[in-house]
Structure 1
Amino acid sequence: MHADLLQRRYPAVKVDVDVLYVDEGDVLTSAGKAAGLDLCLHVVRTDHGAAVANALARRLVVPPHRPGGQAQFIPAAVEYGRDHMLADLIGWAMARLDHALTVRDLAREAGMSERNLARHFSAVTGTSPLRWLLTQRVRRAQELLEMTELSVEQVDSRVGMGTSTTLRRHFAQQLGVPPETYRRTFRRLDSGGSRPRDPPLSRATSSAAGCR
């Protein structure tokens, strides 16, 4: 509503009107109250790990993770509610992440074509079935790396990536670090250490909610 005014008042700030929230290191903004919860969970996840953030999300009864770059206006943005046609399918898939599930498997379970499934997934989650599967597998890998002593190869067998090489590639693509580095970071936090937030970029970005 106020994005244009914000941009006029602060011409040096880049205003991104389409995303849920932005994180420039020590300055963060969200697009509104619901997106503010997404941003708070992002901060908790960054500082304390996926397991803590997911537990908090369950207590708040909100989706555990909506990426900041996700579009604001997905018709049914709450992935894990019971009020959309993919709710049962998503629960079924989450309970079988250790299986080598494919988009074809999801479509068969949902009783629809792959094309129709892709359309519904885009409407409900803002992403494709394959991308959703990869994201869930990486999230599960985060929890296992934080909370268990399983090797990366053992973690891979629990999240259905196929090989540890595939897990490492997608983990690094989504989180920016390999699984081993991620685990060492949270082992330090568990030992009482602290992790500094990323330094701010030279040019701030803002969501539609305000300037950073």
Structure 2
Amino acid sequence: MLKTVAAVVIDKVAPFEFGVVCEVFGIDRTEEGVPAFEFLVCGERPGEPLPTSVGAQLIPGHGLDAIERADLVAVPAATLRDEYPPAVLAALREANERGATLLSVCSGAFVLGAAGLLDDRHCTTHWRYGKQLLDRFPSIKLDPDVLFVDDGDIITSAGTAAGIDACLHLVRRELGSNVANLIARRMVVPPQRDGGQRQYVELPVPECTADSLSPLLTWMLDNLRTDHTVAELARQARMSERTFARRFVAETGTTPNKWLTMQRVLRARQLLEDTSLSVEEVAEECGFGSAALMRHHFNKIVGVAPKDYRRTFGAPAV
């Protein structure tokens, strides 16, 4: 049963991610039917101010020994560093050994990793830090596309608001949907969000590393609505098909078809965000030919359906 929650804070802790844990577990909502949580803010030196990542200070009210009675130990994000406090890592390992659930928000996964708790475990973190986490802890099983990963006694979440998703998921898992819905309603957030964090990733435009194909790539971008075959593109570039295909991969790092598909998805994202065109009109404008084909590629690359993406990122109607 989830009764006692300890939030472990270190210097340069991120206030928003810490606040997410406080918002879900630290507010008394018993009048609304939510069970009471004992909420503990724990640090190495209780009563002493800790600098946060934004210049403000945070004072933990409890020492690391208070973690011993926690059912859930939450680790908010903090500024990345080469080493983390050994006493904090030891306290997290001890909590894990006695059966407590551990939850990280965003870059808090690095603290769990430094404690050796993510070895051979499924986990995630903010999409910007995924490669760093994997380079630093190569034995982890990273899923960079999801909002959170529930691996039983360890739950890791992606950036910022995904911490809300992970906390509400844990409440739902331990206390039921009704309690999770009550907390979500009070926070004015959806109890569950669709899709993963791929929809929030800034997709890089594949670059051309040499000048020979730059005019052709510019022409292709200006003519996304047109069907392009490799044979036609090779003729446009005045090369044989074989030479063109080899040169294209060498200069862009991908094939002509994949490059075109990525450009069309990028264009579709922009139109879904900035215009009121229907999905069918967006598909036609981007050269997909049909809304069904666009949905297939969009979902594969971005991770959500076009309509769901527009609901999240589209400009509201005035």
TM-score by length of 2: 0.37
Alpha-carbon distance in structure 2 between the residues aligned to 1:112 and 1:173: 32
- Structure 1 residues 91 and 49 mapped into 2: Cα distance closer, same or farther (>3 Å)? farther
- Structure 1 residues 171 and 149 mapped into 2: Cα distance closer, same or farther (>3 Å)? same
Instruction: Give CA-to-partner distance per residue, 1:18-45, whole Å, 9 cap, x none.
Output: xxxxx833760568xxxxxxxxxxx9xx
Offset at residue 137 of structure 1 (A): 0.7
Partner of 1:103: 230
Offset at residue 103 of structure 1 (A): 2.0
Partner of 1:176: 303
**Pairing 1:124–2:263 present:** no
State the one-letter code of the partner of 2:285.
R
Partner of 1:139: 266
**Pairing 1:65–2:65 present:** no
8 Å CA contact 1:117, 1:129 repeated in 2: no
8 Å CA contact 1:118, 1:128 repeated in 2: yes
Offset at residue 49 of structure 1 (A): 6.9
8 Å CA contact 1:49, 1:186 repeated in 2: no
Q: How does 1:30-49 map to 2 (within 5 A)?
A: none
Partner of 2:126: 25
State the one-letter code of the partner of 1:24.
T
- Structure 1 residues 146 and 105 mapped into 2: Cα distance closer, same or farther (>3 Å)? same
Q: How does 1:191-202 map to 2 (within 5 A)?
A: none
- Structure 1 residues 173 and 123 mapped into 2: Cα distance closer, same or farther (>3 Å)? same
SS of residue matched to 2:236: helix
State the one-letter code of the partner of 2:204.
H
Alpha-carbon distance in structure 1 between the residues aligned to 2:294 and 2:128: 31
Offset at residue 184 of structure 1 (A): 0.5
Q: Over aligned residues, Cα RMSD in angstroms?
A: 3.3
Partner of 1:69: none
8 Å CA contact 1:144, 1:150 repeated in 2: yes
Alpha-carbon distance in structure 1 between the residues aligned to 2:289 and 2:223: 14
Instruction: Give CA-to-partner distance per residue, 1:55-106, whole Å, 9 cap, x none.
Output: xxxxxxxxx715xxxxxxxxxx842x7x421101100100000112222221
Q: Which has the higher contact order (CA 8 A, sep 6+)?
A: 1
8 Å CA contact 2:279, 2:291 repeated in 1: yes
**Pairing 1:154–2:293 present:** no
Unaligned runs of 5+ in 2: 1-113, 133-158, 160-196
Partner of 1:199: none
Consecutive aligned runs of 4 or more in structure 1 exceeding 4 Å deviation = 10-14, 46-50
Offset at residue 48 of structure 1 (A): 9.8
Unaligned runs of 5+ in 1: 1-9, 15-22, 32-42, 54-63, 67-76, 192-212
Partner of 2:214: 87
- Structure 1 residues 47 and 112 mapped into 2: Cα distance closer, same or farther (>3 Å)? closer
Alpha-carbon distance in structure 2 between the residues aligned to 1:110 and 1:118: 11
SS of residue matched to 1:136: helix
Alpha-carbon distance in structure 2 between the residues aligned to 1:111 and 1:27: 40
Alpha-carbon distance in structure 1 between the residues aligned to 2:288 and 2:225: 8
SS of residue matched to 1:98: coil
Which entry has the higher C-alpha Rg, 1 or 2?
2
Bigger helix fraction: 1
Alpha-carbon distance in structure 1 between the residues aligned to 2:279 and 2:126: 29
- Structure 1 residues 48 and 182 mapped into 2: Cα distance closer, same or farther (>3 Å)? closer
8 Å CA contact 1:118, 1:129 repeated in 2: yes
8 Å CA contact 1:49, 1:146 repeated in 2: no
